[in-house]
Amino acid sequence: MEVLDGMSFSSPLVSVAHERTPCTEAALLSGRLDAMITQDPGHLVRSAIPKLRALRDNRDTLTSQEKIRVEILLPTNL
């Protein structure tokens, strides 16, 4: 964010970050970011374990369980 803070642009800049951290959350709340795209890291891990077990055992996995939800956070829904 510090890099963008020191720059000027001829037209409005839309800024989107990936991953929810204390820094990106503060930037979203202060208006320095317009949106944030994030995923639940716990869900990623819980999905990875059965996938790795299936690969180890040479089995298929359930495609429906491999879908990881993506969230788009705006200042209004944080």
Q: Average pLDDT of each block of 10 consecutive residues along the chain (78 residues)?
A: 73 87 92 90 84 90 77 90
Helix (H, G, I), strand (E, B) or coil at 41: helix
Residue 16 is predicted with a pLDDT of 92
List, in order, residues 6 or more apart from 26 with CB less than 8 Å away: none
| Bridge-based pairing state of the strands 35-39 and 70-73 | antiparallel
The torsion angles phi and psi of 43, rounded to 5 degrees, stand at -65, -40
Q: Which pLDDT belongs to residue 68?
A: 79
pTM across the whole model: 0.63
**Which pLDDT belongs to residue 37?**
94
pLDDT of residue 1: 60
